[in-house]
Structure 1
């Protein structure tokens, strides 16, 4: 022990004092929280990650604890939820108009087909414009 204390530049008396010291309140709370985390994780059949465990502890059991502490204790103990995001990202639900001109935008005579969209004019975007597909002429709406 003397060689290790000399190598680490620690007094032997400090080492023995540290060894006989009772556990701190934080380490006691961490040990208790880890038991709670394991219980919740086991009850969820391993499907809860840090977010689910945190929600169950705070909302379900009324334990006041931060998410980062739960994540840190789970990482130290090697407790993980399932990999990846199990929920699919929501699909775009906005209805869109069908292709009413079958992508045929070139016409021989003016005023046969007018389309609208966002037009870039210098540094500004102008969404309120009608455009004649035959001539390329733009006309403001309204």
Structure 2
């Protein structure tokens, strides 16, 4: 109220606070919580803008945890987004067979992604090759170590499957496939140095695929050993690629 031109003395008397208390509040430095929320809001706005205003609180909350290692509640993310006046777009894209009817079908696009799944006694790495235009799993590979060979096996499986499905005459006239490697691949140091990163549409298809895998896996508390998780993943991926 004082900033709007009202006298401090009369405003303090109206609100039943002391003038000295008001001036002390003005001189007080921002609290750690206020500074933390300001920094968090900057990160949220950055993620939101990079998604072209698509991501909501759930996806931004996931990005804060996975990309920045920030452990914050989803309620806090929702609060800060509301205070910043931003919100994600409603609706979800389904992972289903069928051609995407837009300009992106001009070329085939294969996106390679890799994820690390942690158990109590070790880690299992999984690389997949997805045809994001037709939303199909083309190839996959599962191993206990994150090496270039993990990705090579997934790509080899995708190429073999693609060659088997296309008649020889059609294969000779098929336009070249475009490849892209996600940020997860770069984080695990499995992507080429000059790798192309897919656009947000392709990345959304990859995320939807992993959510389906996550819903089909047994709960995390049952991942007692890397061997048991590896068996689960291989069985699921075999079903998805059938």
Match of 1:7 in 2: 14
1:60 pairs, out of 60, 63, 67, with: 67
- 1:85 maps onto 2:91 in alignment: yes
Which ranges in structure 1 are unaligned for 5 or more consecutive residues?
Answer: 91-142
* Relative contact order higher in (CA < 8 Å, ≥ 6 apart): 2
Aligned length: 88
Query: How much has 1:60 moved relative to structure 2?
Result: 1.6
Match of 1:38 in 2: 45
Q: Deviations over 1:70-102 (max 9, x none)?
A: 0000001111111x32246x9xxxxxxxxxxxx
Query: How much has 1:59 moved relative to structure 2?
Result: 1.0
Q: Deviations over 1:100-135 (max 9, x none)?
A: xxxxxxxxxxxxxxxxxxxxxxxxxxxxxxxxxxxx
When Rg is computed on C-alpha atoms for both structures, the one with the higher figure is: 1
CA distance, structure 1, for counterparts of residue 44 and residue 81 of structure 2: 8
CA distance, structure 2, for counterparts of residue 7 and residue 13 of structure 1: 15
Secondary structure of 1:75's counterpart equals: helix
Which ranges in structure 2 are unaligned for 5 or more consecutive residues?
Answer: 1-7, 97-242
2:31 pairs, out of 18, 24, 27, with: 24
Secondary structure of 1:40's counterpart equals: helix
Match of 2:58 in 1: 51
Secondary structure of 1:47's counterpart equals: coil
CA distance, structure 2, for counterparts of residue 17 and residue 4 of structure 1: 15
Q: Deviations over 1:10-63 (max 9, x none)?
A: 000000000100000000000000000000001111110000100001012211
TM-score by length of 1: 0.59
TM-score by length of 2: 0.35
CA distance, structure 2, for counterparts of residue 61 and residue 4 of structure 1: 44
Q: Which segments of structure 1 move beyond 2 Å, counting only runs of 4 or more?
A: 84-88
Secondary structure of 1:48's counterpart equals: coil
CA distance, structure 2, for counterparts of residue 72 and residue 58 of structure 1: 17
- Higher fraction of helix: 2
